[in-house]
Amino acid sequence: MNVRRALAAFLSLTVCGLTSVTPPAAAFPVPFGKYVALGDSYSSAPLVPIVDLLSLGCLRSGGNYPKQLAEALDVDAFTDVTCGGADTTHMTGWQKTPLGVFPPQFNALTADTDLVTLGIGGNDFGVFGSVISTCPGLRASDPTGDPCRKHFTVNGVDTLKANIDKTQARITEVVKGIRARSPQAKILLIGYPKIAPETGTCPAILPFADGDYRYLYAIEEHLNAAVAKAAAAGGATYIDTFGPSTGHDACAADGVAWIQGKDLDLFRAANYHPRYEGQAAVALITYVNLVGGFPIIDAAQQATWAAEARHLRTQAASLSRPVPPYHHLLPR
């Protein structure tokens, strides 16, 4: 059994175990013929095992949530064009990476596409990248304060939130573009899971000033709200991963966290990006939304994901395949 099939079998078993509260008719996958996955690095899952060597420029994982979802749904045709570093402009424009130039993601859409997932918005106007590249360096100046929030507040205006407001309009246009190209498609806009906890700090993992944890949390809340509003405006469905990721932020214990902290792990995840556990969770959350239930993520399931992650990490390390430069592809 190849890795994708193994992941699919695992996810299918997991879903069956977690949808007992769903009416029997919803226990079977909704039939989809042609599924296209669009999005940025939170969808492509850079360095999550096993790396898809056919798309190294985009650092697309063989175990990302689109691939797990496609297998669980048993779609007839699946195209994954998610790409690290992508923003809304790369839906219709070419994307340059250190390892090649990739065509517009919309090129994958066809008139008979009937399912589309889209995870986008964090890279527009450099929001995520600005936070990650700026905030840790400000901690030393005011470790118990909120120097990052102050840095991005200009004349009383939070510039990051202002840029997110502009991103909302862009995402709305992206949804319209999907609808124009694939008029029969069910469109799912996938939200971003929590990086920072709602309370508490873990500076060894997230090197932010204490007061800026709440700021990072608020920025993600604002971004997810923008994605949800864009979905509503375009008649798409918003998939909330922010709420279900409570307790699974980067500060959570190893095996429980869905997000990698500041340290890059070549066989696990890029820094500040989802681990395998996070990708599996998003696949489950999306799958259950499609079949009409709601996800229940308990300790037993989390332990199963963690065990699978360890197995895949070991397998990836044993392959000893070179990893391409990644930093140009991640949120700017």
Tokens of 231: 């979905």
Tokens of 152: 């991005």
Q: Give me the residue label for tokens 């319209």.
A: 176
Q: How far apart are CA 283 and CA 97, in angstroms?
A: 26
Q: Residue 179: which residues within 8 A CB-CB, separation 6 or more?
A: 185, 187, 234, 235
pTM: 0.88
Single-letter amino acid, residue 26:
A
Residue 157 DSSP code:
E
What is the full per-residue pLDDT of the chain (332 aa) written as tens digits?
343 444 444 444 444 333 222 333 444 557 899 999 999 999 999 999 998 888 889 999 999 999 999 999 999 999 999 999 999 999 999 999 988 899 999 999 999 999 999 999 999 999 999 999 999 999 999 999 999 999 999 999 999 999 999 999 999 999 999 999 999 999 999 999 999 999 999 999 999 999 999 999 999 999 999 999 999 999 999 999 999 999 999 999 999 999 999 999 999 999 999 999 999 999 999 999 998 877 888 899 999 999 999 999 999 888 755 444 444 433 43
